[in-house]
């Protein structure tokens, strides 16, 4: 591999000179991007020439003044060019290019991708590069190595303008949950801002999304995400039922005090049966009023609005595990039957299932329930659990040291939010 500063071959020299010229031009564009900057740039150039000319007058004979003026102008241009070069290629750009060199990710001349620009956004930044002759497949195949070299997580890779340029959407690898307050997440109706992604905010609209399935290994952040969703729903007036055989220890007081916490098979069956009865009542009421869903019904009956109902469980495997006693299997069959009914019919009637799991067992979630889970997201997990939850192994590639990073079944990667302690205290 040729070294980055190796001038042995004419082609390498030519490529290096072209890079220097492009870098100076980028620096000039940045230095003169606004009228004020253009004015300051011209003033600086004139001051530099004047200073050099004054020194020359004081130290050189009068006969050499014409040559002195030319030399001062040339020297001023060189000094300005050096300054523009460093403006167009700041130290951060150099570190990025050096990281590609160490990785061995270079073109035939030994030159790395050239950094053109870095644009910072709220939760990520966009890195624009001149491609070093690599295809999109090569970029994707080397994604993990590039992430390690740059110390980032790359959420998207785009080749643009005929594959001449590369756009990387990067998130700092040390980034975890983003702690936010109420003002950051308040939206209209049942649109829940649950995280941030490369293109903006990750939103779940429960008027469009029937049910939610969240997966992830221990420490992935699935319980924190579930708590965030439930507290948002409580603040929007939803009736929340939590099925938790651990007694609700994973849920803060503001959640279990303002929801119904059930901890036994008998209580689960009783609550689910009552919920199915409500579903049937709503079905008859919607038919009577000639409406198709809960939105239309509540618009027609704004004085008697009916609430959305959310049934949540932090570990669905505990509720549907068939390896226990025989009498429990009968109860589990009944629970599965009721959950299947809600999964099929619940959306239009404002009844939602929100399930989480960390157990990599294909038998945990029956197909008739999973097939109706319209929003699926998985944090860091092994390939088996990732395949179960989002029908791909993509979640196994999420770094385990980034809690709150999730990927959906549509391939969208986002960073989940975490409600602040003050938010919980006010609840």
The model's pLDDT over 393-404, given as tens digits with 9 standing for 90+, comes to 888 888 777 778
Which residue carries 């919980």 as its tokens?
A: 424
Residue 10 or 300, more confident: 300
What's the pLDDT at 23? 81
In CATH terms, 90-175 corresponds, of 3.60.20.10, 3.30.565.10, 3.30.980.40, 3.40.50.620, to 3.30.980.40
Q: Where are the domains of the chain?
A: 1-89, 90-175, 178-426
CATH superfamily of 178-426: P-loop containing nucleotide triphosphate hydrolases (3.40.50.300)
Percent of the chain residues topping a pLDDT of 70: 81
What's the pLDDT at 195? 83
Strands annotated E in 133-209: 152-160, 165-172, 178-180, 191-197, 200-205
Show Cβ contacts of residue 232 under 8 Å, excluding neighbours closer than 6 positions. Answer: 185, 192, 194
Token pair for 399: 């770094």
pLDDT tier for residue 4 given thresholds of 50, 70 and 90: very low
- In angstroms, the Cα distances linking 100 to 125, 144, 351 are 18, 13, 51
Average pLDDT over residues 361-378: 83
**Does residue 35 register a pLDDT over 80?**
no
Residue 85 or 3, more confident: 85
- In angstroms, the Cα distances linking 120 to 126, 128, 170 are 6, 11, 10
Q: Give one word for 169, left, alpha or beta, with left for phi > 0 and alpha for psi -120 to 50.
A: beta
Angle at 417 between CA 412 and CA 423, to 5 degrees: 155
**Does residue 422 register a pLDDT over 70?**
no
d(CA 126, CA 120): 6
DSSP state for residue 409 in the 8-state scheme: T
- In angstroms, the Cα distances linking 81 to 24, 52, 86, 407, 416 are 6, 16, 9, 46, 45
């Amino acid at each position: 591999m040729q070294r980055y500063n190796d001038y042995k071959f004419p082609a390498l020299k030519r490529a290096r000179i072209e890079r220097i010229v492009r870098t100076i031009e980028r620096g000039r564009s940045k230095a003169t991007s606004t009228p004020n900057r253009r004015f300051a740039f011209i003033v600086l150039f004139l001051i530099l020439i004047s200073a050099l000319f004054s020194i020359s007058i004081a130290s050189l004979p009068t006969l050499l003044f014409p040559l002195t003026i030319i030399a001062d102008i040339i020297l001023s241009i060189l000094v300005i060019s050096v300054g523009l070069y460093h403006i167009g290629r700041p130290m951060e750009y150099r570190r990025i290019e050096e990281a590609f060199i160490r990785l061995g990710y270079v073109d035939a001349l030994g030159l790395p991708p050239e950094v053109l620009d870095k644009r910072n956004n709220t939760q990520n930044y966009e890195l624009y590069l001149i491609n070093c002759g690599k295809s999109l497949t090569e970029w994707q195949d080397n994604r993990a190595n590039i992430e390690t070299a740059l110390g980032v997580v790359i959420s998207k890779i785009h080749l643009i303008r005929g594959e001449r340029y590369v756009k990387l959407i990067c998130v700092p690898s040390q980034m975890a949950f983003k702690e936010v307050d109420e003002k950051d997440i308040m939206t209209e109706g049942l649109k829940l801002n649950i995280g941030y992604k490369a293109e903006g905010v990750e939103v779940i609209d429960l008027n469009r999304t029937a049910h939610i399935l969240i997966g992830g290994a221990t420490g992935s952040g699935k319980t924190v995400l579930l708590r965030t969703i439930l507290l948002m729903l409580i603040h929007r007036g939803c009736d929340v039922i939590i099925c938790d055989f651990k007694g609700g220890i994973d849920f803060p007081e503001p959640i279990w005090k303002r929801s119904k916490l059930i901890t036994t098979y008998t209580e689960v069956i009783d609550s689910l049966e009552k919920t199915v009865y409500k579903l049937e009542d709503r079905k008859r009421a919607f038919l009577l009023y000639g409406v198709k869903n809960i939105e239309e019904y509540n618009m027609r009956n704004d004085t008697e609005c009916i609430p959305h109902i959310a049934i949540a469980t932090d570990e669905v495997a505990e509720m549907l595990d068939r390896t226990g006693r025989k009498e429990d299997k009968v109860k589990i069959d009944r629970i599965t039957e009721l959950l299947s009914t809600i999964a099929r019919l619940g959306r239009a009637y404002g009844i939602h299932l929100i399930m989480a799991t960390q157990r990599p067992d294909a038998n945990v979630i029956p197909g008739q329930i999973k097939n109706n889970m319209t929003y699926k997201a998985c944090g860091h997990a092994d390939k088996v659990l990732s395949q179960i939850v989002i029908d791909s192994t993509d979640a196994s590639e999420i770094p385990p040291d980034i809690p709150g990073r999730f990927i959906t079944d549509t391939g969208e990667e986002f960073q989940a939010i975490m409600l602040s302690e003050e938010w919980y205290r006010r609840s």
